[in-house]
Structure 1
Amino acid sequence: MMDLAARLAELDRLGLRRRRRVLDGPQGSRVRIDGRDYLSFASNDYLGLAGHPALAEAARAAAAEVGTGAGAAHLVTGHHALHDRLEHELAGFVGLPAGLLFATGYMANLGVVGALVDRHGAVFADKLNHASLVDAARLSRADHQRYRHNDLDHLEQLLRASTAQDKLIACDAVFSMDGDLAPVPELLALAQRYDAWLYLDDAHGFGVLGAGGRGILEHYGITRPDARLIYLATLGKAAGVSGACVAGSADLIEWLVNKARTYVYTTATPPMLAAAASASLALIAGEPARRRHLARLIARLKAGAAGLPWSLLPSETAIQPLLVGGNREALRLADGLAERAILCPAIRPPTVPEGTARLRISLSAGHDEADVDRLVAALAELA
C-alpha cells in the first residue's frame, strides 16, 4: 500500500504541496479567505460577473419557479427549457449552428474527444494544453501526438505522417498558464488540408476576446461556420456561473447527445444555473465597457512591471504570468504579497514546466487602476 504520509512529506520538501483556502463571501476583486480580507488577483472572474446581482437574481427567480435540481439526466427528464434556451443562445452568440451544455469544461473535453476518436484515431495536441485535454486524449485510447507549443510546422509534420482513420487537433484557444493565443486561422487551414477536426477550448477567451466578447473566433474574424470546427465556451470564468457549452454543426451536436459519455451518463445541471448564464450572456453582449476597462488594466500592469526583476510573459489577455523560476522563490513571493493582503497564486510544476514557476496574475474588470498600482508597488518592495 502507498505510504501517503511519506508522499505528502516529499511534496512539502519539493515545495509542491497544494492546500485549499476557504472563501467566505462572494467572488470578486476583494475576497475574504480563511478569515482575512485580500485584494485578489487569483480568480478567472475576468469580467467581474461572478458576484453580479443580475445573475444571482436570475438564479433565485428560476429556483423559486422550477426548484434547485434537474432531477435526471438530460436524456431522461432532466433537459429543462432553460437548458434548451441557453444552448440556442450560446450557439448563436458564437456564430455556430448548435450547442450542447456540459456540467464542466473538464467533462466536455472528456466527452467530445472520446466521442470522436478511439484507438483507430489520433489526437494532435499542443504541449501546453490544459490537463483536461491531456486526459481526454489519453482516455480516448487514440494515438496521442503532442506538437511543440504553437509550432505549426511540427503539427503539419505529424499530420502528414499519420495514417489514423480519424484525426482531431485539440488545443487551448488561450493558454491558461501563459496567456498567449493559439494561431486559430492557421490551425483551421491545417485541419481542412488534412481532413481533421479542430477542437478549440476557449475557456479563457469566451466573454473576453473580440469586440463583442464572443471569444477566439470573433477575435480572428472567423465568421463562416466550418463543419470540422468544434468550439468550447466555459461558463465558470468570464461568464461568472458554472458549466460549459460545446458548439458546432447540428450533426456534431446530435452525435455528442448520443455518444458523449460525460453528457449521457450524468444528471443535468440545475436549471437555475442556465438561467444565471443567460443573464450573464446579456451582460457580456450589452456591456462592452467591461472589456475596454480590462484592456486598460492590462496595459497599466505591463507598464508598471517593466522595472521589476521578474518578467511578464508575452500576453495580451487577462492572464499575466510573472515568471519567477524556482518553486520556493515563487512561493516566497506569493507569501510576501499575502502578508500585504494581496492574493496572487504561485503556479508550480507539474502545472508548468520545471524551472518556470510563476505568479499567475489574473486581472478582472472588477479591479480599478489603484488595485493594479498597489500590486506593482508591493512587487517592487519585495524585489
Structure 2
Amino acid sequence: MSALFPTYARWDITVKEANGTTIIDNNGKEYLDFAGGIAVCNLGHCNERVNSAVKEQLDKVWHVSNLFHIEGQEKVAQLLTHHSDGDLVYFCNSGAEANEAAIKLARKHTGKTKMISFKQSFHGRTFASMSATGQDKIHQGYGPLLEEFIYLPFNDEVAVEKTIDETVAAVILEVVQGEGGVIPGENSFINHVAKLCQENGVLLIVDEVQTGIGRTGKPFAYQHYGITPDMITVAKGLGNGFPVGALIGKEELKETFGPGSHGSTFGGNPLAMTAAEAVLETVFEGEFLEEVTEKSQYFMAKLEEQLKGIDVVKEIRGSGLMIGIECTKEVADIMKKLRQQGLIVLNAGPNVVRLLPPLTVTYEELAKVGDMLEVQLKK
C-alpha cells in the first residue's frame, strides 16, 4: 500500500533514466518524451551544460537564505530583464508562487482588489493562483476563493471592454492558454487588452509559466504581440527541471515590494540560480531561438500535411513548440496507445493532445513523432 496521497492519476511507467528527448523505464523500454516534464525540460533531460554547472555548485554552497547576497540572483535577474520588458526580479520556487507574488503585488501597489482573468485559464493551485484560474474543476471542494476575480471569455474584446475600468487592479492572462487547450490569443485581442489596461491604470500580468523561456521561438511569448506587460511570471523551463520561478516587474513597482513585504525561504537559492543561468545563457542565444522557430515551422507543416483529412482531427494549433491537436473525441485512450507505441504526450482538456517537446528535439525525432501520430489518429 502506497504512503502517498493519491493526488495524481499516474501512468504505469517508472522512469529509470533519461537523456535528451529519450526516457527509459525500469523495464528498459524507450520513449520519446513530448511532454518534457510539462514544458519544463526545454533543453532536454540531463542537459550537459546545466548538469555540469549544478554539479560544480553542489560542492560550493547549496543554501544560505535571502538574508545574504547571492551573486547568482543578480546574474539571472540581469538575463531575464535584458531579454524582457521588465526591470526587477523576485525569485521563488514555482509558477504558482510567481503568480501568487504577482497577485499580491498588484493588490498592494494599486490598493484595489478586483482582478480580471479568463475562462479556461490556468495560473496555479495556491489559493490566490487558483482563484485566478478560470476553470471550475480547479475550484471545486475548496470553499470560498479569493474574492473579486472576474472570468471573461478569452479572445473576446467586447467582454473586456465592458468590464475593465479604474476599479480593476490587474488583468492576468496567458497569451497562449496551455492547460485550457493550447489556445493562442488573437493579436487584436491581446493588444486591445494591453491598450485598455494602459488607458484605465490597470496592471497587466502575463503568465509565461508554460510559454516562456524560448518555448514559442522568442524569449517570452508576449513578444510576438508587441505589448509591454507590467509583470511577467515564469517558472517551468527556467531551471530545466530544477525548481525555480520568478516574477519580473517594472521599475515603478519597486517600492511596493520592499523589505518584509514578501519572501521565500528557498527562492533564488544558489543551486536554482546556477541551473537557471545555464539555461538562459543557452536558450536566449539568437541562433538557438531561430532554430526553435525553424523546427516549429517544420513540425507544424508536417502535422498539417499528415493529419489533414483524418476524421478525428478537428484542429491543429499552437505557437512554436507548443502544439495542440484538438480531436472530436476524448484523447485519454489515444494518449495511452501512444505510450504503448513509445511516445509520451499530454492532454490539454479532455479533447486536445498537447505536444511539448524539448527545444533541442531533432528533425528526425519530429518526423518520427509525426508518423506515430498519423498512424494512431487514423485508427
Q: TM-score of the superposition, structure 1-length normalised?
A: 0.79
Mark the CA change 1:40 to 1:341 in structure 2 (over 3 Å): closer, same or farther: same
Mark the CA change 1:342 to 1:217 in structure 2 (over 3 Å): closer, same or farther: closer
**Matched residue, 2:373:** 379
**Matched residue, 2:139:** none
Out of 310, 334, 340, the position equivalent to 1:308 is 310
* 2:106 maps to amino acid: L
**Percent of aligned pairs with the same residue?**
12
Describe the superposition over 1:134-170 as per-residue Cα deviations: whole angstroms up to 9, x where unpaired.
515489834110110121210111114xx73x52100
Mark the CA change 1:134 to 1:305 in structure 2 (over 3 Å): closer, same or farther: farther
SS, match of residue 223 in structure 2? helix
Give ranges in structure 1 of 5+ residues lacking alignment: 1-7, 12-16
How far did 1:362 drift? 2.0
How far did 1:359 drift? 1.8
Q: TM-score of the superposition, structure 2-length normalised?
A: 0.80
**Matched residue, 2:49:** 54
Mark the CA change 1:19 to 1:143 in structure 2 (over 3 Å): closer, same or farther: same
**Matched residue, 1:195:** 201
SS, match of residue 278 in structure 1? helix
Equivalent residue runs for 1:293-332 within 5 Å: 293-309=295-311, 310-327=313-330, 330-332=331-333
**Matched residue, 1:144:** 149
**Matched residue, 2:141:** none
Mark the CA change 1:22 to 1:136 in structure 2 (over 3 Å): closer, same or farther: farther
SS, match of residue 187 in structure 1? helix
* 2:301 maps to amino acid: A
SS, match of residue 322 in structure 1? strand
Structure 1 residue 90 corresponds to structure 2 residue 80: yes
**Matched residue, 2:219:** 214
Structure 1 residue 127 corresponds to structure 2 residue 140: no
Give ranges in structure 2 of 5+ residues lacking alignment: 1-5, 134-143
Out of 351, 362, 365, the position equivalent to 1:368 is 362
Inter-partner Cα distance in structure 1 for 2:323 and 2:243:
23
Structure 1 residue 112 corresponds to structure 2 residue 102: yes
C-alpha root-mean-square deviation of aligned residues, in Å? 3.0
SS, match of residue 25 in structure 1? strand
Mark the CA change 1:297 to 1:241 in structure 2 (over 3 Å): closer, same or farther: farther
* 2:275 maps to amino acid: A
Inter-partner Cα distance in structure 2 for 1:42 and 1:275:
24
How far did 1:127 drift? 0.9
**Matched residue, 1:4:** none
Inter-partner Cα distance in structure 2 for 1:246 and 1:359:
29
Out of 165, 168, 177, the position equivalent to 2:170 is 168
Mark the CA change 1:191 to 1:239 in structure 2 (over 3 Å): closer, same or farther: farther
How far did 1:123 drift? 0.9
Inter-partner Cα distance in structure 2 for 1:197 and 1:358:
32
Equivalent residue runs for 1:210-289 within 5 Å: 213-222=218-227, 229-236=230-237, 241-258=242-259, 261=262, 264-286=263-285, 287-289=288-290
In 2, are the aligned partners of 1:94 and 1:217 still within 8 Å (CA)? no
In 1, are the aligned partners of 2:335 and 2:346 still within 8 Å (CA)? yes
Structure 1 residue 358 corresponds to structure 2 residue 358: no
Inter-partner Cα distance in structure 2 for 1:273 and 1:199:
24
Deviates more, 1:112-121 or 1:270-279: 112-121
SS, match of residue 299 in structure 1? helix
**Matched residue, 2:346:** 345
Describe the superposition over 1:256-287 as per-residue Cα deviations: whole angstroms up to 9, x where unpaired.
354764xx153334312212211211111223
* 1:48 maps to amino acid: L
Mark the CA change 1:257 to 1:51 in structure 2 (over 3 Å): closer, same or farther: farther
SS, match of residue 221 in structure 1? coil
Inter-partner Cα distance in structure 2 for 1:379 and 1:203:
27
* 2:182 maps to amino acid: G
SS, match of residue 16 in structure 2? coil
Inter-partner Cα distance in structure 1 for 2:316 and 2:91:
33
* 2:352 maps to amino acid: R
In 2, are the aligned partners of 1:49 and 1:280 still within 8 Å (CA)? no
Q: What is the aligned residue count?
A: 345
**Matched residue, 1:41:** 34
